[in-house]
Structure 1
Amino acid sequence: MRVHITDVRSGDQLSEDIFNSFGLNVLSKGTILNDREISRMYQHQIDFIEIQRRPGTAPAETEKEDKPNSNYNPLLRPLYHDAVAGAEQLFTRALEEGKIYEDDVKESFQPLVDNFRAERDVVSLLLMLNSQDDYTYQHSVQVGMLSYYIARWLGWNEEETVRAGKAGFLHDVGKCKIADAILNKPYKLTDDEYDEIKSHPQYGYEILKNSFDDPGIALAALQHHERIDGKGYPLGLTGDKIHPLAKIVAVADVYSAMISSRVYSDKKDLLQVLRELFDLSFTELDPEITHTFIRHMIPNFIGKRVELSSGESGTIVMSNPTDFFRPLVQVDEQFIDLSVKRDLEIKQVFM
């Protein structure tokens, strides 16, 4: 049976060899298709393939895959996991040698960046790719991804946008010098342990300064915990004294940290965290960058399934122009305006 690449299911089996436009054999007849095989077909721009008929499928039936991720590029999932593994290798090498190599960054992060350009639904990417594993390295990849998008939404050119993604990807490399027992401690840190954690921006700055000719990348690592009100660390910088790359990375860093599960805190819902970022934009985070991020993220929630605090499930059908964080939700045949029903909250967003 002939199916479009977006309709391929994990476990499907090829009934014919696949060749790309140059005549190169991509996959052989009989191959069982999983994430990596599907990703390979995307890389070779394959549109349609022939697979063995699925059990229970009538000969004349036209297939249309009905799964949550069918409209996302399956290439991103394995590339994301490769980038997380690459981040771990970068941290290990930085600890051993005191520097990072450009080729290693390109190999681990650039393939993901190349595929970000075609993706618009950042909320779905975060829902699809977020997991509870390898927080430190996954966080680095997420901050790189979000920094890339924020720079693009600010109108930066492609070169500067990629630079922002790189800065986000490398911002926490100084944590390679922090003991795992401190990084992964499941309860409150002592004052000495917290002081050691607060050393990671300086550690990262030294590593990146020794690795690249671009001072902005190193400054983003040094300053990503600075806050515009002067209450950040390690230097207590304010406003315009903070490098623009660091301001972008700071927003991405806070968002990723708050939506992720960590040993000492549960993750929060993506929409709830945007509301918390909005509050921080008046005190700690750059308001232009934060509001740009929020404005571009909000439309991505339309069409997403949600669970309300009442236990009901529904779908976000419209954002509220006067209150971004309390949209219109459809539950069965009923429409609930959360800006009016103040006793209800969105508890969780799903794909």
Structure 2
Amino acid sequence: MRAHIMDLQPGDKLAQDVFNNFGLNVLSQGTVLNDREISRLLQHQIDYVDIEERIEPGLPDSSQNSNHHGADKLLPVFEDALQGISELFVNAMAEGKVQSEDVDRTFTPLVEGCRTEKDVVSLLVALNDKDDYTCQHSVQVGMISYYIAGWMGYSEEEAQQVGKAGFLHDIGKCRIDYQILNKPGKLTEEEFETVKQHTLHGEEILRESLEDEMYALVALQHHERFDGSGYPHGLKGEEIIPAARIVAIADIYSAMISSRVYQEKQDLLHVLNELYELSFHKLDPIITQTFIKNMIPNFIGKKVELETGETGTIVMTNPSDFFRPLIQVGEEFIDISRKPDKGIKDIQL
């Protein structure tokens, strides 16, 4: 049976050899897949493979849209995480710190769910319609940071630590006036200077709360930029700790795909293109392009709404332009890299 890379499960067995675009044999027929092999297929930008029929009862095949159901099953975990981060913000504002056990109780179930669900796009779409932007954003950044760290080769323990740092990166906003954070128009210079203080507040709160300095440094540095144009200290390049560079990418991606009082959400592929441009000056290029490379296969099979109002399905990535894929609309196949009027407006489950 033909299976998309995002539908593969540990224990699946390859029915045919798998070759990459350069003709290199990536995995051989008969290989039993585990997380390492699936990650290897992702690294070689393999979209589909042939696997033997699954004989275990209850295992879904790719035609059952298992990614959709996976995201749906995690919705209660999302809701608990949203409630948990909200309580952490309240406690940080009232007590000047958070309790480590409260953080773990909130974040651990979320990361356990992320570990078993490889389709990051479905997770982001499922979590992208919540009313409380600050809480939704914190949960998304924690998830994305965890995935990026894993794709960068971090151990599971290290990836969870980076994910937790992303989850807590905005904790300093508990000390920023709610009216400023949710202002529908452009901030004044004075208001923006106030908002920028959340990095310093976050560092202070997390130094009081957690033993590992990394969490405080991520809260402090996640708005620093590779070219030195960020804040609060204008750090550049290697002066920014790796975890903060990861969280910065997750932070920007989540912010740009989310609806906010002063900004309409942008489609997930368009935002990846924006990140690609930023990787040449403001963001760590290796981390950013690792993120993009691992996100692209997630879009195969996703339903889209085009700017023309038409709806279709992404069926193939475009090797010359990852961000403008081949889309099937009815019986027609549209290469939107050649049709500017057929841009993607929205991506759905």
**TM-score normalized by structure 2?**
0.80
What per-residue deviation string (whole Å, max 9, x for no partner) do you get for residues 58-106 of structure 1? xxxxxxx978975315441011111111111101111111111111011
Contact 1:319 1:327 in 2 (8 A): yes
**Mapped partners of 1:300, 1:69: distance in 2:** 10
**Mapped partners of 1:187, 1:256: distance in 2:** 20
**1:213 aligned onto 2:211:** yes
What per-residue deviation string (whole Å, max 9, x for no partner) do you get for residues 249-273 of structure 1? 0000000001111111111111111
**Mapped partners of 1:125, 1:70: distance in 2:** 9
Q: What residue in structure 2 maps to residue 261 of structure 1?
A: 259
What letter matches 1:194 in structure 2? F
Pairwise CA distance, 1:167: 0.3
Asked which structure has the greater RCO (Cα within 8 Å, sep 6+), the reply is: 2
Identity %: 59
How well do the aligned residues superpose, as a CA RMSD in angstroms? 1.7
What per-residue deviation string (whole Å, max 9, x for no partner) do you get for residues 21-45 of structure 1? xxxxxxxxxxxxxxxxxxxxxxxxx
- Structure 1 residues 195 and 329 mapped into 2: Cα distance closer, same or farther (>3 Å)? same
Secondary structure in 1 aligned to 2:347?
A: strand
Unaligned stretches of 5+ in structure 2? 1-56
- Structure 1 residues 185 and 338 mapped into 2: Cα distance closer, same or farther (>3 Å)? same
Pairwise CA distance, 1:224: 0.2
**Mapped partners of 1:310, 1:133: distance in 2:** 28
Secondary structure in 2 aligned to 1:250?
A: helix
Q: What residue in structure 2 maps to residue 280 of structure 1?
A: 278
**Mapped partners of 2:212, 2:260: distance in 1:** 32
Contact 1:323 1:339 in 2 (8 A): yes
Match of 1:103 among 91, 101, 104: 101
**Mapped partners of 1:289, 1:195: distance in 2:** 28
- Structure 1 residues 256 and 66 mapped into 2: Cα distance closer, same or farther (>3 Å)? same
Pairwise CA distance, 1:189: 1.5
**1:90 aligned onto 2:88:** yes
What letter matches 1:210 in structure 2? E
Secondary structure in 1 aligned to 2:333?
A: strand
What per-residue deviation string (whole Å, max 9, x for no partner) do you get for residues 284-328 of structure 1? 111111101111111010001111222221111000122100111
Unaligned stretches of 5+ in structure 1? 1-46, 49-64
**TM-score normalized by structure 1?**
0.79
Equivalenced residue count is: 289
Q: What residue in structure 2 maps to residue 128 of structure 1?
A: 126
Q: What residue in structure 2 maps to residue 299 of structure 1?
A: 297
Contact 2:127 2:140 in 1 (8 A): no
Secondary structure in 2 aligned to 1:156?
A: coil
Contact 2:71 2:122 in 1 (8 A): no
**Mapped partners of 2:174, 2:68: distance in 1:** 37
What letter matches 1:103 in structure 2? E
Instruction: Name whichever of 79-88 and 340-349 sits farther off.
Output: 340-349
Structure having the larger proportion of residues in helix: 2
- Structure 1 residues 274 and 193 mapped into 2: Cα distance closer, same or farther (>3 Å)? same
Contact 2:68 2:122 in 1 (8 A): no
